[in-house]
Amino acid sequence: MLCTYVLLLFAYLIILSLSNQEEVCDQEHYYRILGISQTSDKREIKKAYRRESMRLSIDAPHHLIESETLRENERRLRMAHEAYHALMNGLETEGSYFFVERTD
């Protein structure tokens, strides 16, 4: 009985991983998604994100675009959004210092 549950759990995890094809991105991958170098600053990251957002905009006339292309553009837009926020948050925390107040 326990073996059956383990096999079902394993199958569920495999199906879940196959259905969720969004890549887990590292920081280097985020730069590639936005098409910028790793030495880019916040301004360049923001500019690249806006460029990608406009290029992949889902506000285009839907009757002129195939549904498969729409889905691919939506996926790429989500990846660009994730990359933008991850890089901006990384740059904000990179130079910041955290202080803990002493309570004596």
For the chain, give every domain's residue range.
21-94
**Do residues 35 and 43 make contact, with C-beta atoms less than 8 angstroms apart?**
no
3-class secondary structure, 37: coil
DSSP H or E stretch at residue 72: helix 67-94
Q: Enter the pTM of the model.
A: 0.59
Residue 14, CA distances (Å) to 3, 20, 51, 79 in order: 17, 10, 36, 22
Structure tokens that stand for 42 in this block = 């916040």
The pLDDT tens digits for 22-81 are: 444 577 889 999 999 989 999 999 999 999 988 887 666 665 667 777 788 888 989 999
Rounded Cα–Cα distance for residues 44 and 65 (Å): 30
Instruction: Tell me what pLDDT residue 64 has.
Output: 61
Domain 21-94 annotated CATH 1.10.10.10: no
